[in-house]
Every structure is written in C-alpha cells, then in structure tokens.
Structure 1
Amino acid sequence: MERLVLIDGHALVFRAYYAFPASLTNKEGKQINAVYGFSSMLLAVIKELHPEFMAVAFDLDKPTFRHIEYVGYKAQRPEVDVELT
C-alpha cells in the first residue's frame, strides 16, 4: 500500500524553532535553528514512515475565511519572533 504523509509546515517550523537553541547559527551568525530543526524532523519522518508521497502545507501570510467567520481566530497569539519572519 502506498503511503502519503501530510505535514503542517507552520506547526513544524514553530516546533523546531523552540526545540533547538537560538545559539544554532551559520557562519554569518544568522540563526538557523528553525531550518535545521525542520529539516531534521522532516528527515526523521521520512526515515520512520518511508512514504511514497509527501506534502508540506504552510499557512497563508494573509487573513483567511477563518478570520472573517470568527474575528477572534488566533487573536490572542503573541507576535512572532523576528527570526521567524
């Protein structure tokens, strides 16, 4: 049976960002903990599940129908760290 794995990219990036230390930087000093963590976690999923197909989906950077239907949607969330933008 073929296996499809769907990944919530935004959730995985945030998880990686907070799971790995901010001191993880490249040679220019730019913080890479989210990129490194995201890649590591994605490779771990591939190694464990051996999917034939995989898709990673990210949230839009603008309001969606959820914001229109419910004004309070994600309204209580703190601002995103500048390193993630």
Structure 2
Amino acid sequence: MSQDSNMFERLEAQGKIDSSSDYKWDDGSEHDDVTKIYVSFGKECIRNIRFDYIKSGQPKYGSFHGPTFQGLLQTVSLVERY
C-alpha cells in the first residue's frame, strides 16, 4: 500500500477447519475498531483466531474461529483507549 492509501483493506472471508471442510467465517463489519486479537498456534501453524471489537464505544467480543486447540495463546492489544 502507498502512504496515501487507507491503512486497512477489506478482504474476502476465508477459513477452513480441515482440508475437507468448506467452513468459512466472517465476524461482519458492524464494528468500529479491532481492540484485541487472540491467536492459538502450534509448531507449524495458527490453529484458531479471535478478534474483539468496539461498536459505538462498547466492547463486542468475537468467537474463536478454528478447531479447539490447547496450544499456545498469544494476545495482542491494539487499542488502549477503550
């Protein structure tokens, strides 16, 4: 992206539980900002992911997308002002 373009780009929702699944997820666009990202991962890949949002000044919690996994969980806080 160039410096003059927007910081964010909307992408088509994608995701699968396994290679035989057509599972797709999309938390929609009815939120104002992303506040936190949760990522569970194993040795070779990201296993599941969750996003928390802000809508009209109130928190909106997403659900985990992907299989249940007891691996490592990394949390990234993006917005501290809420």
Ranked by relative contact order (alpha carbons within 8 Å, sequence separation 6 or more), the top structure is 1
Same fold (TM over 0.5): no
- State the TM-score, normalizing by the size of structure 2: 0.26
Q: Which has the higher helix share?
A: 1
Bigger Rg over Cα: 1
Q: Which has the higher strand share?
A: 2
